[in-house]
Structure 1
Amino acid sequence: MFKFFNKYVAYGAVFLASFAITSFAFNIESQPASRTTANTSKVQVSYTTQVLPHAYALKKDAKIYTDVHLTKSISPKHYLKTTWYRTEEVDLTLDGKTRKVFKVTNTDQTHSFFVLESQLMGIDSKSYNVKLKVAKNHFLGQKIGVLGDSIPAGWDGFHFYSHSSYPDWVGKYLGTGTTTIDLACPSGRIVGKRWAYLGKEHLPQDLPAVVAARKSQIKKMNIIFIHIGTNDYTNGSGSGSLTNVIRHLRTSLKAVQAITPHAQIYGILPISRYDANGENRQSMRDMYGYTYGQLRHEEQKLYRARGIKVINFQQIAPNIITDQNKNRTLQDHEIHPTAETAQKLGYALAKKIAD
């Protein structure tokens, strides 16, 4: 899960976009009738390309169009709580000025529109409200913190999706109104003290290094997600036996609990992982002699022994990532969720916490 991330992107420099998860946004109504938009006869398309998706929302006064030449627009009022994912980027000339337009599509692919880049906003915008009703105001002002690897960091195996990792989505659905303190790092391990460069930033990478260097930030966390372990299981990690991995995890958990004794901590078990041939690694032994399933089992035991709530996505949302859909839900088909999958994971976890 640490595929050449420094080669592709600096931390936080990413494409933006997003998909509507209709089961937890709202039921999309029939598409309103379009209307002809004036002064678009001079629109010229100069360049169109496919792009990687990221979560977007529409601004309140956005104009959305049914065609790339922007000849017909419809009202956005039915779609302001929908999440959209950019699928195409278009450069065009409008009234003599160069403009960038995105083709955006909702998650079940029932609706697609063309929108000027200036009419979109990131899902981290405070005006984009998708808070779950069941959350009420119970989580308002709470600071969510994250310790772990590339999955909670919002790295899809090739690049980051900005401000829309699954912990970011948890904050949106719980209605915290605060920015997630995400200290997770691609390739992060339970065993080790490494630091890594993400772009020009030199950041602690392994869990012991993060805990030692980021005590002041950890103290500010009210809710903490610890999601880590898959990189220790990777052959050649240097983490050694499962006993050694769990011993190091226990030490880090004790340290975190000592830093912020009143925080609610959730131990997130490693999500499903596949090999290059598409086989589920659940029962596969690594070079250190333990299976992926055994890693999950021992992490669960330790979290419970430390009084930490356990989250197993295979139990709370078993259909998000499966053997059958992995090529669609995992960007690299092995371990890293797509931006859309991250949203679904965030919704499932928020619902679990809020219920």
Structure 2
Amino acid sequence: MNDMRQGQELVLSQRFEAVNQFIGQSVAAQKARAFALRVAAGSDLTVLVRGETGVGKDHLAELIHELGRCGKPFVRVDCGALTETLSEAELFGHAPGAFTGSVGAKEGLVKVAREGTLFFNEVANMSLGLQAKFLGVLDRKPFRPVGGKETFPVKARIIAATNFKLEEMVRARTFREDLFYRLNVVPFSIAPLRERKEDIPELAAAFLAESRKRILPEAVDLMTGYDWPGNVRQLRDVVQAAALMSNGEEIGVEEVKPRLDQQLRQVAADKRVISEFYDEDRRLLPIREIEKRYLSVLLEAAEGNISTAVAISGWARDTVYRRICQFGLEDFVLSRRRDAYLKRMVKRREV
């Protein structure tokens, strides 16, 4: 029995070499490969993959699927794209004429997956209403297509992924506590690239395999000194762009550095935007504080012009005025514009 198990693990482990996201000899890379192998060869318990954007959560899900259910459907569900009104039909399918505009019957994603894998990407983006429906899938309850009479079993392996701290969302009541515990059965966190920099040479070489180009040591040194906030995905994009722009078979600093400089500028801009939504401890701010910060940025961009602020935000004019007073930003506007209406609002409030 042990020999059979070892033989199975050997066959499965040989297939890791084709998976670029997790090659390398770092402890983090080895843990990811070992986790995928163990889960694929083991039970069908629900897996929750966590990690920053770009670390390869979807690739780990695909790896688990290929190692355990190769040849069967791998169905990806982008949770942020599911709408509240049509999500049930998307997930469970519908019978002919089930609702206005439905022509013929349609299989839902749960049935399409059959005995393969259902991968719920960015599960934190699910609305509360959709989270309630998702609970039934996790509980393996038979489902019925919208407008249908026959029920069908859930046979697929379920893997979910997120880059959000679900525990904080549970405390904020934006994510169901019961759903969190159902998802968090077999959790795994993928390490960011900055914690496995020793893998960068192998990763870069793998991303260049099709181009048959090689990256010079000094270019590798430059990349190793970078923190890669976009993780492995960002590394792949930089390396492949550098390969495209290089004339010869070698990629040096002159090809890599412009791409890194461009990425650094974008990261700096992104951080400025993200900082408007999080506090110093990276906790999401209350919606009132986010609205205030947004309004401040909006008024600055509009140079205090209310008409411009209305055009940019899409808010009604009365809404903009009301929020200016609500958040105490009247002086900011009046120091830049003569606004008689806002002055009258301020005077009425003082009285």
The alignment's TM-score, normalised by the length of structure 2, stands at 0.31
More helix by share: 2
The alignment's TM-score, normalised by the length of structure 1, stands at 0.31
More strand by share: 1
In terms of Rg, which structure is larger?
A: 2
